[in-house]
């Protein structure tokens, strides 16, 4: 749950969405009630050593950039040389509730668009080079100071340096420059060139990134799902075929029929909504088993809720819902779809809106069954009074 300091004190969301979102960069000077760095450098380094955590080290040599993929050996940090280096750890919000809480103030953007929180730790002069991203990002300065240089709008034709693992700009010209102190935030819309450089050691930056699926990604994944159950007997037909003047021509009528076969199949709004909900909430790290070590029964859940204790969402889980009708919704959690009638729809909507939820009224038997399924999958946990939940990471 969000701590007292991890809330905005004075930030005009409506003005930001109107004037800046996906339009232009914005420096936001420490808008927090009070800023407190959510994770210490040593804890971040410990995460980078874990085999199921995505981590990288980028070192700037005199004439080249060196990329190392994790897990990072613990001895690696002690062996770091004089060259400026940066540690990047992906999806830290999936592992630490204190970092997951950092997302809450940014939920004026729909949850399905939020991707994860990446943390970078850099020594003096460290950075990842000039680059651009295809998604929106809020760069929150956690510790130390970082200089951000902002450049032009890039596209697919923008020249890049030759490198197997890094997409670095071949020619970067800064047009704006800001120095961020702890608690400051820099918003960057997609495709804006930028370069961050640590000013001193112990520089930590939290990158809150947003999902922006490409057209090709959506079409490919949607088509893959649709074709799994299309019968081979569903084929092109042309009754009342008329003789053509030239048999070599593919007629306009034939083309229209062929394209119509595809369009009719793809244009199924109800099926697309169900597919996208499952696709968008699919676990980012499916190899991690978040389920409880001991089974949790509906009686356990009922007793827990009767005591006024909350249900908490796994920070690594993705929740969303769509409206299936006026009284029912489809709940999506970690790639699974649950059809919720009027009896459970209210709970489904509430758990999608809150990272921790206390039920005001006793849960129905159907709702308890739904909660049991979510707890068994590791998507929810019963909070015993702490704030971090109780999940054990195990590889399948």
- Domain boundary among the residues 151, 175, 210 is at 210
Number of domains forming the structure of the chain: 2
- Which CATH number is 342's domain given? 3.40.366.30
| pLDDT for residue 2 | 41
Is 99 in contact with 39 (CB distance < 8 Å)? yes
| pLDDT for residue 200 | 95
| pLDDT for residue 391 | 56
* % residues pLDDT > 70 (the chain): 95
Task: Decide which of 83 and 369 is more confident.
Answer: 369
| pLDDT for residue 387 | 45
Q: CA dihedral defined by 154, 155, 161, 165, rounded to 10 degrees?
A: 110
Is 331 in contact with 338 (CB distance < 8 Å)? yes
Look at residue 127 and tell me if it is in a domain.
yes
Residue 3 has pLDDT above 60, yes or no: no
- Which CATH number is 147's domain given? 2.60.120.650
Look at residue 301 and tell me if it is in a domain.
yes
Domain identity same for 196 and 322: no
Expressed as residue numbers, the domain containing 33 is 13-210
Is 37 in contact with 143 (CB distance < 8 Å)? yes
User: How far is C-alpha 304 from the chain's CA centre?
Assistant: 30
Domain identity same for 53 and 144: yes
Look at residue 261 and tell me if it is in a domain.
no
The band of 6, judged by pLDDT with boundaries at 50, 70 and 90, is confident
Mean pLDDT of 370-376: 96
Which tens digits make up the pLDDT trace of 241-252? 999 999 999 999
Residue 62 has pLDDT above 90, yes or no: no
The band of 381, judged by pLDDT with boundaries at 50, 70 and 90, is very high
The band of 389, judged by pLDDT with boundaries at 50, 70 and 90, is very low
User: How far is C-alpha 127 from the chain's CA centre?
Assistant: 22
Residue corresponding to tokens 């971040």 = 44
Domain identity same for 67 and 203: yes
**List of E strands, the chain:** 26-28, 55-60, 65-69, 85-89, 114-122, 137-143, 146-153, 176-180, 185-188, 192-198, 203-210, 288-289, 311-313, 319-323, 329-333, 336-340, 356-357, 380-382, 394-395
- Domain boundary among the residues 210, 235, 263 is at 210
Is 19 in contact with 11 (CB distance < 8 Å)? no
Question: Is-above-0.75 flag for pTM?
Answer: yes
| pLDDT for residue 392 | 59
* Angular region, 332: left φ>0, alpha ψ -120 to 50, beta rest: beta
| pLDDT for residue 316 | 92
Mean pLDDT of 213-232: 93
Look at residue 202 and tell me if it is in a domain.
yes
Look at residue 237 and tell me if it is in a domain.
no
Which tens digits make up the pLDDT trace of 7-56? 898 899 999 999 999 999 999 999 999 899 999 999 999 999 999 999 99
Residue corresponding to tokens 């459970």 = 344
- In 3-state terms, the chain is what percent helix, strand and coil (to 5)? 30, 25, 45
Sign of the alpha-carbon dihedral angle for 110, 116, 121, 124: negative
């Amino acid at each position: 749950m969000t701590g007292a300091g991890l809330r905005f004190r004075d930030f005009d969301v409506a003005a930001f969405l109107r004037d800046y979102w996906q339009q232009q960069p914005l420096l936001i000077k420490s808008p927090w009630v009070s800023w407190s760095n959510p994770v210490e450098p040593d804890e971040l380094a410990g995460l980078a050593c874990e085999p199921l955590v995505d981590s990288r080290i980028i070192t700037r040599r005199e004439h080249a950039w060196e990329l190392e993929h994790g897990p990072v050996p613990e001895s690696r940090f002690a062996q770091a040389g004089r060259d400026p280096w940066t540690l990047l750890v992906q999806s830290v919000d999936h592992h630490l509730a204190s970092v997951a809480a950092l997302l809450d103030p940014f939920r004026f953007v729909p949850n399905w668009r939020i991707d994860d929180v990446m943390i970078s730790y850099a020594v003096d002069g460290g950075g990842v080079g000039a680059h651009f991203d295809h998604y929106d990002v809020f760069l929150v300065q956690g510790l130390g100071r970082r200089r951000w240089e902002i450049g032009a709008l890039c596209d697919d034709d923008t020249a890049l340096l030759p490198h197997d693992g890094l997409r670095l700009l071949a020619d970067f010209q800064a047009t704006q420059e800001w120095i961020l102190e702890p608690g400051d935030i820099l918003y960057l819309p997609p495709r804006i060139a930028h370069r961050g450089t640590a000013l001193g050691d112990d520089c930590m930056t939290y990158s809150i990134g947003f999902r922006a699926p490409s057209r090709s990604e959506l079409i490919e994944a949607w088509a893959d799902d649709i074709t799994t159950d299309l019968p081979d007997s569903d084929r092109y037909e042309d009754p009342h075929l008329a003789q053509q003047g030239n048999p070599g021509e593919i007629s306009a009528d034939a083309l229209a029929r062929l394209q119509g076969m595809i369009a009719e199949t793809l244009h199924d709004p109800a099926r697309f909504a169900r597919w996208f909900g499952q696709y968008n909430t699919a676990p980012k790290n499916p190899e991690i088993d978040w389920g409880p070590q001991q089974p949790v029964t509906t009686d356990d859940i009922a007793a827990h809720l009767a005591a006024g204790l909350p249900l908490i969402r796994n920070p690594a889980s993705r929740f969303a819902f769509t409206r299936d009708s006026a009284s029912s919704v489809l709940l999506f959690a970690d790639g699974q779809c649950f059809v919720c009638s009027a009896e459970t729809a209210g709970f489904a909507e509430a758990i999608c809106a809150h990272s921790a939820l206390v039920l005001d009224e006793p849960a129905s038997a159907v709702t308890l069954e739904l909660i049991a399924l979510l707890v068994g999958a590791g998507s929810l946990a019963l909070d015993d009074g702490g704030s971090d939940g109780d999940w054990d990471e195990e590889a399948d």
